[in-house]
Chain A
Amino acid sequence: MMRGSILLTALAAWISTGLAASAAETVKVGLIVTLSGPPAVLGGQVRDGFRLAVKNLGGKLGGVPAEVIVVDDELKPDVAVTKVKGLLERDHVNFVVGPVFSNVLMAIHRPVISSNAFLISPNAGTSNFAGKQCNPNFFVTSYQNDQIHEVLGKYAQDQGYKSAFLMAPNYQAGKDALSGFKRDFKGEIVDEVYTPLGQLDFSAELAKLAADKPQAFFTFMPGGMGVNLVKQYRQAGLASIPFLSAFTADESTLPAEKDDALGFLGGANWAPDLDNPQSKAFVKEYEAAYHSVPGTYAMQGYDTAMLIDSAVRGAGGKLSDHDALRANLKKANFVSLRGKFKFGVNNYPIQDFYLVKAAKRADGKYETEIVKKVFTDYVDRYAAECPMK
């Protein structure tokens, strides 16, 4: 038994040195996203957006042939750590791109940044890594989580709503969502309801909402919960109360919500109708390739690939030169689908945020469309706590 394991170790060492030698000729990207369970749609969008960019770049990133290894984190932090270790130690990836969900990010952050690879999150952007625990090897191409909720809070405040009813699932992201909304909204909070994660029937909460008669309703209900809430909200005849939401009526859920979501408002850093040539081309190509309307997840996946492309190119294709790669990642010298894009001190983006609303296109498909810009060059509020310069 002992001898067997020594033999195995020797074999593994031999294989891995062999791989390390060949790793110089390709950019290896480990893409770790959620591809199972109900949220698989989100991970699928990130993956497809990333792949589309690599395809458009001729299968290369920064002029170097690219190999993209896709793994499923199953939305389980422990599984994600095991798989990330595989990417780092077996596949010797240069970049880890992922994950979709914040709890997975918390788990894989340490293993990746303490290795030779860079971690680039195409979606999750928690507050701790934006503030005191910011790290030079960690980049976020999406947003700081709170910012999306702040868009709605700011909008509600600007509209002069006097009262709001808030509802979110009873877990960390739900609590963060409501506190994000409350930062800019100064009106009365008539009630804050936390529902069990995974609750599908909101009739009891909606009856309470109708009785309270607030001037606005804010919610964060991702995935299937959002589909149910939107349908039941419409059926309960409450649509005259403005429906402000985050990740509740977006491209991942609109195909199921259909007309019930029309006119419901959300916050985003991009929408498929954003008016710039690269974004328009992206939406067209994505729809042709994957037969669905891309959401922000796909856009962020695409931009992440473009960022890596620019960094590898800027470093002259030398993947062993980590300082050059890091400096060129930080420059963000690529054409973002969002138009403007740059990193703040904490490696989180500084970008514009929009109020978006669910709409039906002429071809019968559903998408979010920009109503107005709410924040310009918005810096997240944790950046000031980041010790990096």
Chain B
Amino acid sequence: MSFALLAVQILNGLQLGVLLFLIAAGLTLTFGVMDFVNLAHGVQYMVGAYLAAMFASLTGSFWSALVLTLPCALAFGLVLEFVVYRRLYDRDHLSQILATFGIILFLNQAVKALWGAAPLSVPMPDALSGSIVLMPGLLYPVYRIALIGAGLATAAALSLLINHTRVGMRVRAGATNPQMVSALGVDIRRLFMVVFGFGAMLAGFAGALVAPILSVEPGMGDNLLILAFVVIVIGGLGSVRGALIAALMVGLIDTLGRALGPTLLRLALPPAAASQAGRSLAPMLIYILMAAVLFLRPSGLFPIKR
């Protein structure tokens, strides 16, 4: 295991991490701030990817597709909020889970009816289609590096927004004590709607960003949603900072576990057993991490104070 390979795998892990962060950020805000369990967050990521694929084939340019996708994803989130979620805020978690699960089924079928079951693809933008040689024989696509950059920049912007603006202050206040915020004359429903639309836009943004490297297909958000829940549980509900750190941890542990697990185990076990054990162990690592965090710090690494 050379140093170059390790560096490449760390980059791969970071890339998965920032992707998870973009999805988990919206999820942690809706879950932590609004106490609303939104299983349909993963399909909003899928809708973002489909919108990007559609706009890319209409306009022929990735950049205009990205620019068009953001407001559409935002609008889509607001429509969902207005039509469905608004009615669920006062209900218990089970109703929310049932309703949002229904939305998953509905939207997975809807994209299939609209765009067909076959996977779609989005061409990579020319400006970012090059690659750099990170180790002999392996090119690392510039696009993936740009993706890491975009994710980290979004995290920084989000942190500014939440910690240093009036809206961010209200969001934080709403998370701690919604009744008090409401009593002070802030329209909490409207605030929730903004938070919700923003979360949907972030998920759609993530979907549009991955469209050039992953296939766009029905159900693409379902696996990531589970990881996103793991991330917000580790990071602490409602904490954007926690979501970022947990997402990077999960991305790195998952990738490095898959890449290095069998090699490390080979030091102690015969090769066949090592690859068998590594293969079974790697997908478990993040859940082991989650269990450990829940055991030691039940409210996550960065819980928000109530």
Binding site for B on A (CB under 8 A): 36-41, 44, 170, 191-194, 196, 198, 200-201, 203-208, 210-211, 213, 223-224, 227-228, 231-232, 235-238, 252-253, 255-258
Contacts and interface: CB of A to CB of B under 8 A. Distances in A.
A238 B218 contact: no
B167 interface: no
A213 B118 contact: no
Interface string B111-124: 01000111111001
B141 A200 contact: no
A256 B120 contact: yes
Given A40-B112, A231-B215, A238 B138 contact: yes
B5 A208 contact: yes
Given A38-B219, A201-B214, A224-B217, A256 B119 contact: yes
Nearest to B144: A203
Given A40-B112, A196-B283, A200-B220, A257 B121 contact: yes
Contacts of B1: 211
A236 B121 CA distance: 17
A200 B20 CA distance: 14
Nearest to B218: A38
B137 interface: yes
A73 to B, nearest CB: 14
5 interchain residue pairs of minimum CB distance: A237-B139, A210-B138, A40-B117, A227-B215, A203-B12
Contact of B138 (A198, A207, A228): A207
A236 B139 contact: yes
Nearest to B217: A224
B139 A256 contact: no
B170 interface: no
Nearest to A259: B123
B239 interface: no
A255 B215 CA distance: 11
Contacts of A44: 117
A256 B138 contact: no
A352 to B, nearest CB: 28
A204 B117 contact: no
6 contacts: A36-B112, A38-B217, A192-B275, A198-B223, A211-B138, A235-B131
B273 interface: no
Nearest to A34: B117
B16 interface: yes
A36 B113 CA distance: 11
Contacts of B109: 36
Contacts of B160: none
B213 A235 contact: yes
A256 B121 contact: yes
Contacts of A231: 121, 213-215
Given A210-B137, A228-B215, A236-B138, A205 B258 contact: yes
A44 B118 CA distance: 10
A255 B115 CA distance: 13
Nearest to B257: A204
B121 A235 contact: no
Contacts of A203: 12, 15, 144, 255
Contacts of B141: 235-236
Contacts of B124: 235
